[in-house]
């Protein structure tokens, strides 16, 4: 069985430890001891303070959790904002020519431009037409009779 002194010192250290983490708490213990007439009153006061501290700590945890979620949402929003830019950069980095379907130059620098030719994706070869105007492989609308 712990003595009341041991219990009190445990409570005091627990109280002080928690009070360090809580802003706006009354951490002035000296005045309390003066006001206390008996050990029982001191204990009751301690328990009251501990309950108060516990409540503050749980409030603190809730607000910290809310802040963390806010930060995470902000980070998520930033990530979404940056995503399209990253995709565009990747396309530029790839430097693929849509005119001749080769990489290493852009369509503006394509040698086929001089010859007024394109790589036709439908013919799968270099032609004097683009795939959209390919005469050999027209889009077939199956639903149309
Ligand atoms: Zn090219
Ligand atoms: Zn074609």
The H helix count followed by the E strand count for the chain is 4, 2
Distance 118 CA to ligand 1 centre (A): 8
**Domain locations along the chain:** 1-83, 95-144
Ligand found nearest the CA of 98 = 1
Distance 117 CA to ligand 2 centre (A): 11
- Of residues 82 and 104, more confidently modeled: 104
Segments in 95-124 forming alpha helices (H): 111-114
Average pLDDT over the chain reads: 73
- DSSP summary character for residue 14: H
**Separation of alpha carbons 70 and 68, rounded Å:** 5
Distance 81 CA to ligand 2 centre (A): 39
**Separation of alpha carbons 111 and 132, rounded Å:** 20
Q: Read off the pLDDT of residues 90-105 as tens digits, 9 standing for 90 and up.
A: 555 567 898 998 888 9
Distance 144 CA to ligand 2 centre (A): 23
- Measured in residues, the chain has a length of 145
């Amino acid at each position: 069985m712990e003595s009341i002194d041991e219990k009190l010192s445990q409570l005091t250290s627990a109280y002080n430890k928690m009070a360090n983490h809580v802003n706006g708490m009354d951490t002035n213990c000296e005045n309390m001891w003066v006001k206390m007439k008996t050990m029982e009153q001191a204990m009751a006061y301690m328990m009251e303070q501990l309950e108060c501290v516990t409540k503050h700590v749980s409030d603190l945890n809730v607000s910290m959790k809310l802040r963390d979620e806010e930060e995470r949402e902000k980070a998520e929003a930033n990530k979404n904002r940056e995503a399209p830019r990253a995709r565009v950069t990747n396309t530029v980095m790839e430097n693929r020519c849509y005119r001749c379907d080769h990489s290493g130059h852009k369509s503006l620098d394509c040698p086929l431009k001089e010859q007024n030719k394109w790589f036709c994706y439908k013919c799968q070869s270099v032609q004097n037409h683009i795939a959209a105007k390919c005469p050999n492989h027209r889009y077939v609308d199956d639903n149309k009779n």
